Amino acid sequence: MELENSIYALLTIDRWESLNHMEYKMASLRPVHGRLALKFLNWVIKQPGMELGHITHMYCITTHILVRARMYAFAKSILGHLAGMSIGSHSVFGALMDTYPLCHSNPAIFDLLIRVYVRNSMVKDALATFELMGFRRLNPSIYTCNMILAALVKDKWAGCAWSFFKEMLARNVCPNVGTFNILLNNLCVEGKFKKARYLLKKMEESGYIPTLVTYNTLLNWYIKRGKYKAAFELIDHMGCKGLKADVWTYNTLIDDLCKSHRSAKAYLLLKKMRRKMILPNEVTYNTLINGFVKEGKIEVAIQIFNEMSKLNILPNCISYNALIDGHCQEGRFVEALDILGKMEAEGLRPNEVSYGVLLDGLCRHAKLDLATSLFEKMRRNGVVVGRIPYTILIDGLCKSGMLKESLQLLDKMFKDGVNPDVVTYSALVNGFCLAGKVRNAKEIMCKVYRSGLVPNNIIYSTLIYFFCKQGSINETMKTYAAIYHSGHDADLSHVTW
């Protein structure tokens, strides 16, 4: 208790200068000392009339003790408080240096300070601390330097990033592969791919061995910019270096090709994968199936689905849902329902998306009997029927003029504890307006208000259009006024007066 009593006495009689002469130079500061320091710091900051300089001083002493006790998480927390107290980085650094000899501290404390600044998006303070360390012939670790470098790139301070890198080299901070990965990414962000490739070459010539992260960084940017030839050349270069592109790399390429409506090219890449003994996974196949479906090539999608099964890669809900969607787009509902049945037979439980895709297709093609049966099947099978399936079916019923049934379904929706949203009500308003029942549509709008929802532009514009069509100028102006007061923009470009 001697240390505790000494500090307590000095704090209570306000003799701060005496803290500088206390003996903290123990052979080993254990966590118990760190906990004691935290206890006293907590007591100090609660005292009335404390000067900022004294508080800063005590924070710094506590941080040194915590670092010596290897309580780094607590030390970072204390430094985080200092950073948030609007104390300039020069003052914090100065206070840490003034208290540095008291506990025989080590330079790791300045690494922690820089990391705190970076994590709090205080990059300028991190740079200032790095510079101040240089004046004291101190250097942060390469990992801390990489954090600053990454933050500069993230904040789009490309010029500063290169200047900082040069300063690192001038101060004999040896870069690692992570440093070059950050710089490569920086060049790619700027679209300087030739320079990025040159940096990769110089990196290899200097004895640094690029990792999969290095190559994937460059590959990812080649793919983003549609530079597929360069991407394939880089994959071959990786092979020459004894580093195989992994399934993630190929999946990224395949995904981008499919999104660019080049699914056939993506399939050739799958074949290349298999030749190189890189096993595709369900993500690879699902991406291809979905890609061909989006291009309207349902037969090819089915072939890939079958190939997937032959390779013992089990199709999942995503695989089946893509095929169901493809058949629905073609109006092949018998086949879509067969796939749903096959899915269940394989022990996969169709989810809301599976039913929703099929339900949407049936409603779009006015197959309301099948849609209603499917909806009831969802409920019987214990699928949680949310707002989207209800809205899809209500919209389908309204567009087919089955207004009574749509209102009955709305009641069922309420009974099931599912609250309609503006889209649901918008479908009802549109349905009643199309049937010439504009007054009923206006009553539905009143329900929207009563439920606490705010009508959207579609509801307002639909009502205005049909009021105008009926020649109800008074109702039109009332609705227009409601739009104005709600803060919406009235889109009356389609209205004929």
C-alpha 180/C-alpha 197 separation (Å) is: 12
pLDDT score of 19 more than 70: no
Structure confidence at residue 328 (pLDDT): 92
**pLDDT, position 147:** 96
Please report the pLDDT score of residue 44 as a whole number.
Answer: 55
Helices (H), 84-211: 89-99, 108-119, 123-135, 142-154, 158-170, 177-189, 193-205
Q: What is the pLDDT of residues 351-360, one digit of tens each?
A: 888 899 999 9
- 9 vs 133 pLDDT, higher one: 133
Higher-confidence residue of 384 and 53: namely 384
Residues 6+ apart with CB under 8 A from 120: 80, 83, 84
Q: Kindly report, residue by residue over 364-413, the tens digit of the pLDDT.
A: 999 999 999 999 988 888 888 889 999 999 999 999 999 999 999 999 99
Tell me the torsion sign for CA atoms 85, 89, 94, 96: positive
Q: What is the mean pLDDT of residues 176-194?
A: 92
Q: Taking 80 as the threshold, does the pLDDT of residue 340 lie above it?
A: yes
- pLDDT score of 266 more than 60: yes
63-114 residue pLDDT tens: 887 887 778 888 788 788 888 877 888 888 888 888 887 767 788 889 999 9
CATH of 1-140, one of 1.25.40, 3.30.1680, 1.10.20, 1.10.3470: 1.25.40
Instruction: Read off the pLDDT of each residue in 433-451 and give the average, rounded to a whole number.
Output: 85
Q: What is the pLDDT of residue 45?
A: 57
DSSP 351: -
Q: Does position 235 have pLDDT exceeding 90, yes or no? A: no
Could you tell me which residue, 171 or 379, shows the higher pLDDT?
171
* Helix-strand-coil split of the chain, %, nearest 5: 75, 0, 25
Q: Is the pLDDT of residue 493 over 80?
A: no
Higher pLDDT among residues 244 and 368, named by residue: 368
Can you give the pLDDT at residue 454?
77
